[in-house]
Amino acid sequence: MNSEFNIAVHCLTLLSLKKDHMANSDEIAKSVCTHPARVRKVLGLLRKQGYVTTKEGVGGGYLLNADSANVTLGDLYRLLARGSLQPSWCSGGGETTCVVSEHIQEVMERIYNGGELALERHYDNITLLDVTRDIQSETKP
Amino acid sequence: MNSEFNIAVHCLTLLSLKKDHMANSDEIAKSVCTHPARVRKVLGLLRKQGYVTTKEGVGGGYLLNADSANVTLGDLYRLLARGSLQPSWCSGGGETTCVVSEHIQEVMERIYNGGELALERHYDNITLLDVTRDIQSETKP
DNA sequence: AAAACTGTTATGCTTATAATTACAGATGAG
DNA sequence: CTCATCTGTAATTATAAGCATAACAGTTTT
Protein backbone atom coordinates (compact mmCIF):
# COMPACT_ATOMS: atom_id res chain seq x y z
CA MET A 1 0.00 0.00 0.00
CA ASN A 2 1.55 3.26 -1.03
CA SER A 3 0.71 6.57 0.57
CA GLU A 4 -0.61 8.69 -2.25
CA PHE A 5 -4.12 8.54 -0.86
CA ASN A 6 -2.74 9.86 2.42
CA ILE A 7 -0.82 12.57 0.63
CA ALA A 8 -3.88 13.63 -1.35
CA VAL A 9 -5.96 13.99 1.79
CA HIS A 10 -3.18 15.96 3.41
CA CYS A 11 -2.71 18.33 0.50
CA LEU A 12 -6.37 19.08 0.01
CA THR A 13 -6.89 19.60 3.73
CA LEU A 14 -3.96 21.95 3.86
CA LEU A 15 -5.20 23.97 0.92
CA SER A 16 -8.69 24.19 2.31
CA LEU A 17 -7.39 25.57 5.59
CA LYS A 18 -5.23 28.22 4.00
CA LYS A 19 -6.77 31.67 3.71
CA ASP A 20 -6.27 31.97 -0.04
CA HIS A 21 -6.52 28.19 -0.61
CA MET A 22 -3.18 28.25 -2.29
CA ALA A 23 0.36 26.90 -1.83
CA ASN A 24 3.28 25.71 -3.92
CA SER A 25 4.86 22.26 -3.88
CA ASP A 26 7.74 23.30 -1.65
CA GLU A 27 5.51 24.58 1.09
CA ILE A 28 3.18 21.60 0.87
CA ALA A 29 6.10 19.16 0.85
CA LYS A 30 7.36 20.60 4.14
CA SER A 31 3.99 20.03 5.75
CA VAL A 32 3.57 16.56 4.29
CA CYS A 33 7.17 15.76 5.12
CA THR A 34 8.22 14.48 1.74
CA HIS A 35 9.91 15.61 -1.43
CA PRO A 36 8.28 18.34 -3.57
CA ALA A 37 8.39 16.11 -6.65
CA ARG A 38 6.18 13.60 -4.91
CA VAL A 39 3.68 16.29 -4.03
CA ARG A 40 3.65 17.46 -7.61
CA LYS A 41 2.96 13.97 -8.84
CA VAL A 42 -0.09 13.53 -6.63
CA LEU A 43 -1.40 17.02 -7.17
CA GLY A 44 -0.97 16.57 -10.89
CA LEU A 45 -3.50 13.75 -10.71
CA LEU A 46 -5.84 15.81 -8.58
CA ARG A 47 -5.62 18.58 -11.14
CA LYS A 48 -6.74 16.23 -13.91
CA GLN A 49 -9.83 15.50 -11.83
CA GLY A 50 -10.46 19.21 -11.38
CA TYR A 51 -9.96 19.25 -7.62
CA VAL A 52 -7.22 21.86 -7.92
CA THR A 53 -5.89 24.17 -10.56
CA THR A 54 -2.26 25.03 -11.03
CA LYS A 55 -0.54 28.24 -11.75
CA GLU A 56 2.96 28.08 -13.15
CA GLY A 57 5.58 30.76 -12.97
CA VAL A 58 6.54 33.14 -10.20
CA GLY A 59 4.13 33.17 -7.29
CA GLY A 60 2.41 30.11 -8.69
CA GLY A 61 1.34 26.88 -7.03
CA TYR A 62 -1.83 24.92 -6.43
CA LEU A 63 -5.26 26.42 -5.88
CA LEU A 64 -8.10 24.45 -4.38
CA ASN A 65 -11.26 24.28 -6.41
CA ALA A 66 -14.17 25.92 -4.67
CA ASP A 67 -16.42 22.81 -4.63
CA SER A 68 -13.72 20.52 -3.32
CA ALA A 69 -15.20 20.47 0.17
CA ASN A 70 -17.61 17.88 -1.16
CA VAL A 71 -14.94 15.58 -2.51
CA THR A 72 -15.16 12.31 -0.61
CA LEU A 73 -12.42 10.02 0.58
CA GLY A 74 -14.05 7.46 -1.71
CA ASP A 75 -13.28 9.64 -4.70
CA LEU A 76 -9.68 9.94 -3.61
CA TYR A 77 -9.36 6.27 -2.80
CA ARG A 78 -10.62 5.25 -6.22
CA LEU A 79 -8.25 7.69 -7.87
CA LEU A 80 -5.11 6.86 -5.92
CA ALA A 81 -5.38 3.58 -4.09
CA ARG A 82 -7.82 1.35 -5.91
CA GLY A 83 -6.46 -2.15 -6.25
CA SER A 84 -4.04 -1.84 -3.38
CA LEU A 85 -6.00 -4.27 -1.23
CA GLN A 86 -4.90 -7.14 -3.39
CA PRO A 87 -1.26 -7.97 -2.73
CA SER A 88 1.11 -8.30 -5.65
CA TRP A 89 1.88 -11.86 -4.73
CA CYS A 90 -1.07 -14.22 -4.80
CA SER A 91 -1.38 -17.93 -4.13
CA GLY A 92 -2.05 -20.70 -6.62
CA GLY A 93 -1.45 -20.82 -10.32
CA GLY A 94 1.02 -23.66 -10.11
CA GLU A 95 1.19 -26.59 -12.45
CA THR A 96 -0.72 -29.00 -10.29
CA THR A 97 -4.09 -30.50 -11.04
CA CYS A 98 -5.35 -29.22 -7.69
CA VAL A 99 -8.77 -27.59 -8.00
CA VAL A 100 -7.94 -24.99 -5.41
CA SER A 101 -4.64 -24.04 -6.99
CA GLU A 102 -6.30 -23.68 -10.37
CA HIS A 103 -9.14 -21.44 -9.29
CA ILE A 104 -8.09 -19.64 -6.14
CA GLN A 105 -6.85 -16.59 -8.01
CA GLU A 106 -10.20 -15.77 -9.57
CA VAL A 107 -11.91 -16.37 -6.26
CA MET A 108 -9.48 -14.25 -4.27
CA GLU A 109 -9.71 -11.50 -6.83
CA ARG A 110 -13.45 -11.36 -6.30
CA ILE A 111 -12.89 -11.33 -2.56
CA TYR A 112 -10.48 -8.42 -2.74
CA ASN A 113 -12.71 -6.52 -5.13
CA GLY A 114 -15.70 -7.02 -2.87
CA GLY A 115 -13.69 -5.82 0.10
CA GLU A 116 -12.59 -2.81 -1.79
CA LEU A 117 -16.16 -1.94 -2.71
CA ALA A 118 -17.16 -2.10 0.95
CA LEU A 119 -14.23 0.13 1.77
CA GLU A 120 -15.14 2.61 -0.92
CA ARG A 121 -18.75 2.77 0.19
CA HIS A 122 -17.53 3.59 3.67
CA TYR A 123 -15.18 6.28 2.42
CA ASP A 124 -17.91 7.73 0.23
CA ASN A 125 -19.53 8.99 3.41
CA ILE A 126 -16.55 11.04 4.51
CA THR A 127 -15.97 14.38 2.81
CA LEU A 128 -12.96 16.61 2.76
CA LEU A 129 -14.93 19.03 4.90
CA ASP A 130 -15.26 16.36 7.58
CA VAL A 131 -11.51 15.89 7.59
CA THR A 132 -10.75 19.60 7.85
CA ARG A 133 -13.17 19.85 10.75
CA ASP A 134 -11.40 16.91 12.39
CA ILE A 135 -8.07 18.64 12.02
CA GLN A 136 -9.39 21.85 13.48
CA SER A 137 -11.07 20.15 16.41
CA GLU A 138 -7.71 18.65 17.37
CA THR A 139 -6.34 22.12 18.06
CA LYS A 140 -9.05 23.14 20.52
CA PRO A 141 -10.29 20.09 22.38
CA MET B 1 -0.06 -5.77 2.26
CA ASN B 2 1.42 -9.25 2.64
CA SER B 3 -0.34 -12.38 1.51
CA GLU B 4 -0.83 -14.40 4.67
CA PHE B 5 -4.56 -13.77 4.60
CA ASN B 6 -4.59 -15.16 1.07
CA ILE B 7 -2.53 -18.15 2.12
CA ALA B 8 -4.80 -18.88 5.06
CA VAL B 9 -7.89 -18.87 2.87
CA HIS B 10 -6.14 -21.12 0.39
CA CYS B 11 -4.96 -23.63 2.99
CA LEU B 12 -8.30 -23.92 4.75
CA THR B 13 -10.16 -24.26 1.47
CA LEU B 14 -7.80 -26.95 0.35
CA LEU B 15 -8.17 -28.89 3.57
CA SER B 16 -11.93 -28.63 3.50
CA LEU B 17 -12.04 -30.07 -0.01
CA LYS B 18 -9.82 -33.03 0.75
CA LYS B 19 -11.62 -36.24 1.62
CA ASP B 20 -9.86 -36.73 4.95
CA HIS B 21 -9.42 -32.97 5.52
CA MET B 22 -5.72 -33.49 5.91
CA ALA B 23 -2.44 -32.57 4.20
CA ASN B 24 1.16 -31.83 5.11
CA SER B 25 3.05 -28.61 4.49
CA ASP B 26 4.81 -29.93 1.40
CA GLU B 27 1.61 -30.83 -0.38
CA ILE B 28 -0.08 -27.58 0.62
CA ALA B 29 2.94 -25.54 -0.44
CA LYS B 30 2.77 -27.01 -3.93
CA SER B 31 -0.85 -25.98 -4.26
CA VAL B 32 -0.25 -22.54 -2.80
CA CYS B 33 2.89 -22.18 -4.86
CA THR B 34 5.23 -21.11 -2.10
CA HIS B 35 7.75 -22.55 0.30
CA PRO B 36 6.62 -25.12 2.90
CA ALA B 37 8.10 -23.06 5.71
CA ARG B 38 5.77 -20.24 4.83
CA VAL B 39 2.79 -22.54 4.93
CA ARG B 40 3.86 -23.82 8.31
CA LYS B 41 4.12 -20.30 9.65
CA VAL B 42 0.58 -19.41 8.65
CA LEU B 43 -0.91 -22.72 9.67
CA GLY B 44 0.86 -22.45 13.00
CA LEU B 45 -1.18 -19.33 13.68
CA LEU B 46 -4.37 -21.02 12.54
CA ARG B 47 -3.62 -23.85 14.90
CA LYS B 48 -3.38 -21.48 17.85
CA GLN B 49 -6.88 -20.31 16.98
CA GLY B 50 -8.09 -23.88 16.84
CA TYR B 51 -8.96 -23.88 13.17
CA VAL B 52 -6.66 -26.81 12.51
CA THR B 53 -4.78 -29.34 14.56
CA THR B 54 -1.36 -30.68 13.72
CA LYS B 55 0.09 -34.11 13.82
CA GLU B 56 3.83 -34.42 13.87
CA GLY B 57 5.86 -37.38 12.76
CA VAL B 58 5.45 -39.82 9.91
CA GLY B 59 2.17 -39.44 8.04
CA GLY B 60 1.47 -36.24 9.94
CA GLY B 61 0.29 -32.87 8.70
CA TYR B 62 -2.57 -30.50 9.27
CA LEU B 63 -6.13 -31.53 9.97
CA LEU B 64 -9.04 -29.17 9.54
CA ASN B 65 -11.24 -28.67 12.56
CA ALA B 66 -14.78 -29.86 11.97
CA ASP B 67 -16.48 -26.50 12.71
CA SER B 68 -14.14 -24.55 10.50
CA ALA B 69 -16.72 -24.19 7.74
CA ASN B 70 -18.16 -21.37 9.80
CA VAL B 71 -14.93 -19.46 10.08
CA THR B 72 -15.38 -16.12 8.32
CA LEU B 73 -12.96 -14.17 6.21
CA GLY B 74 -13.35 -11.49 8.88
CA ASP B 75 -11.84 -13.83 11.45
CA LEU B 76 -8.93 -14.54 9.16
CA TYR B 77 -8.45 -10.90 8.24
CA ARG B 78 -8.27 -9.85 11.85
CA LEU B 79 -5.82 -12.60 12.60
CA LEU B 80 -3.48 -12.13 9.66
CA ALA B 81 -3.96 -8.79 7.99
CA ARG B 82 -5.30 -6.30 10.52
CA GLY B 83 -3.51 -2.99 10.29
CA SER B 84 -2.31 -3.53 6.75
CA LEU B 85 -4.59 -0.83 5.37
CA GLN B 86 -2.44 1.86 6.93
CA PRO B 87 0.81 2.23 5.00
CA SER B 88 4.07 2.21 6.88
CA TRP B 89 4.91 5.67 5.64
CA CYS B 90 2.48 8.40 6.69
CA SER B 91 2.43 12.12 6.07
CA GLY B 92 3.03 14.91 8.56
CA GLY B 93 4.91 14.87 11.80
CA GLY B 94 7.45 17.40 10.64
CA GLU B 95 8.83 20.23 12.68
CA THR B 96 6.60 22.89 11.25
CA THR B 97 3.93 24.81 13.09
CA CYS B 98 1.42 23.76 10.46
CA VAL B 99 -1.83 22.56 11.99
CA VAL B 100 -2.32 19.91 9.37
CA SER B 101 1.18 18.54 9.71
CA GLU B 102 0.79 18.34 13.46
CA HIS B 103 -2.50 16.49 13.53
CA ILE B 104 -2.88 14.62 10.26
CA GLN B 105 -1.45 11.41 11.66
CA GLU B 106 -4.11 10.99 14.33
CA VAL B 107 -6.79 11.85 11.82
CA MET B 108 -5.49 9.47 9.16
CA GLU B 109 -5.16 6.74 11.72
CA ARG B 110 -8.84 7.06 12.53
CA ILE B 111 -9.64 7.04 8.84
CA TYR B 112 -7.69 3.84 8.24
CA ASN B 113 -9.16 2.20 11.32
CA GLY B 114 -12.66 3.10 10.23
CA GLY B 115 -11.98 1.72 6.80
CA GLU B 116 -10.68 -1.46 8.24
CA LEU B 117 -13.78 -1.89 10.37
CA ALA B 118 -15.97 -1.53 7.30
CA LEU B 119 -13.82 -4.10 5.56
CA GLU B 120 -14.02 -6.52 8.45
CA ARG B 121 -17.78 -6.21 8.67
CA HIS B 122 -17.98 -7.07 5.01
CA TYR B 123 -15.69 -10.05 5.38
CA ASP B 124 -17.64 -11.21 8.43
CA ASN B 125 -20.41 -12.18 6.04
CA ILE B 126 -18.29 -14.56 4.00
CA THR B 127 -17.59 -17.98 5.43
CA LEU B 128 -15.07 -20.56 4.45
CA LEU B 129 -17.95 -22.66 3.19
CA ASP B 130 -18.86 -19.89 0.76
CA VAL B 131 -15.33 -19.90 -0.58
CA THR B 132 -15.18 -23.66 -1.03
CA ARG B 133 -18.48 -23.53 -2.89
CA ASP B 134 -17.03 -20.78 -5.10
CA ILE B 135 -14.04 -22.92 -5.89
CA GLN B 136 -16.20 -25.89 -6.74
CA SER B 137 -18.55 -23.90 -8.93
CA GLU B 138 -15.58 -22.80 -11.02
CA THR B 139 -14.98 -26.39 -12.08
CA LYS B 140 -18.50 -27.00 -13.43
CA PRO B 141 -19.89 -23.75 -14.79
C1' DA C 1 15.48 37.95 -20.42
C1' DA C 2 15.49 36.08 -15.90
C1' DA C 3 13.46 33.88 -12.07
C1' DA C 4 10.04 30.82 -10.16
C1' DC C 5 7.05 27.54 -10.76
C1' DT C 6 4.96 22.76 -12.49
C1' DG C 7 5.32 18.22 -15.06
C1' DT C 8 7.86 14.31 -15.75
C1' DT C 9 11.49 10.97 -16.09
C1' DA C 10 15.48 8.54 -14.53
C1' DT C 11 18.28 6.86 -10.82
C1' DG C 12 19.62 5.43 -6.35
C1' DC C 13 18.29 4.18 -1.56
C1' DT C 14 15.54 1.97 1.94
C1' DT C 15 12.21 -1.01 3.58
C1' DA C 16 8.93 -4.78 3.10
C1' DT C 17 7.95 -9.21 1.36
C1' DA C 18 9.02 -13.75 -0.10
C1' DA C 19 12.39 -17.69 -0.65
C1' DT C 20 15.60 -20.51 1.28
C1' DT C 21 18.32 -22.80 4.62
C1' DA C 22 18.94 -24.89 8.91
C1' DC C 23 18.01 -27.25 12.93
C1' DA C 24 15.63 -28.46 17.36
C1' DG C 25 11.64 -31.01 19.01
C1' DA C 26 7.88 -34.33 18.47
C1' DT C 27 5.78 -38.56 16.86
C1' DG C 28 4.93 -42.87 14.72
C1' DA C 29 6.87 -47.13 12.22
C1' DG C 30 9.71 -50.86 12.28
C1' DC D 1 15.18 -48.01 20.78
C1' DT D 2 16.23 -45.86 16.69
C1' DC D 3 15.32 -43.92 12.37
C1' DA D 4 12.60 -41.40 9.15
C1' DT D 5 9.20 -37.88 8.84
C1' DC D 6 6.93 -34.16 10.13
C1' DT D 7 6.11 -29.40 12.53
C1' DG D 8 7.91 -24.99 14.74
C1' DT D 9 10.88 -21.36 14.42
C1' DA D 10 14.69 -18.45 13.58
C1' DA D 11 18.32 -16.61 10.65
C1' DT D 12 19.83 -15.37 6.16
C1' DT D 13 19.53 -14.14 1.44
C1' DA D 14 17.02 -12.43 -2.67
C1' DT D 15 13.52 -9.79 -4.87
C1' DA D 16 10.18 -6.30 -5.25
C1' DA D 17 7.82 -2.13 -3.80
C1' DG D 18 7.99 2.38 -2.07
C1' DC D 19 10.28 6.71 -1.28
C1' DA D 20 13.98 10.31 -2.02
C1' DT D 21 16.64 12.81 -4.92
C1' DA D 22 18.34 15.02 -9.01
C1' DA D 23 17.73 16.87 -13.44
C1' DC D 24 15.61 19.26 -17.00
C1' DA D 25 12.02 20.78 -20.36
C1' DG D 26 8.01 23.76 -20.55
C1' DT D 27 5.26 27.74 -18.78
C1' DT D 28 4.20 32.03 -16.77
C1' DT D 29 5.05 36.30 -14.25
C1' DT D 30 7.92 40.20 -13.37
pLDDT over 90 percentage in chain B: 90
**Spatial contact of B86 and B30, defined as CB atoms under 8 Å apart:** no
pLDDT attached to residue A141: 64
**Spatial contact of B115 and B85, defined as CB atoms under 8 Å apart:** yes
Q: What is the pLDDT of residues A106-138, one digit of tens each?
A: 999 999 999 999 999 999 999 999 999 999 998
Chain D, protein-covered positions (CB within 7 A)? 4-11, 16-23, 26-30
Number of domains chain B is built from = 1
Distance from CA(A130) to C1'(D15), angstroms, rounded: 41
pLDDT over 90 percentage in chain A: 91
Q: What is the pLDDT of residues A84-97, one digit of tens each?
A: 999 999 999 988 88
How far is B27 from B133, CA to CA, in rounded Å?
22
The three-point CA angle A85-A41-A33 to 5° equals: 85
Cβ <8 Å between A31 and B121: no
Average of per-residue pLDDT values in chain A: 96
CATH number reported for the structural domain that contains residue A67 in this entry = 1.10.10.10
Interface residue B90 vs chain A (CB under 8 A) = yes
pLDDT attached to residue B141: 64
Question: How many C-beta atoms surround the C-beta of residue B18 within 10 A?
Answer: 16
Cβ <8 Å between B138 and A110: no
Q: Which domain holds residue A96?
A: 4-139
Q: Which residue is nearest to nucleotide D16 (CA to C1')?
A: A88
The three-point CA angle A47-A52-A58 to 5° equals: 95
pLDDT attached to residue B1: 83
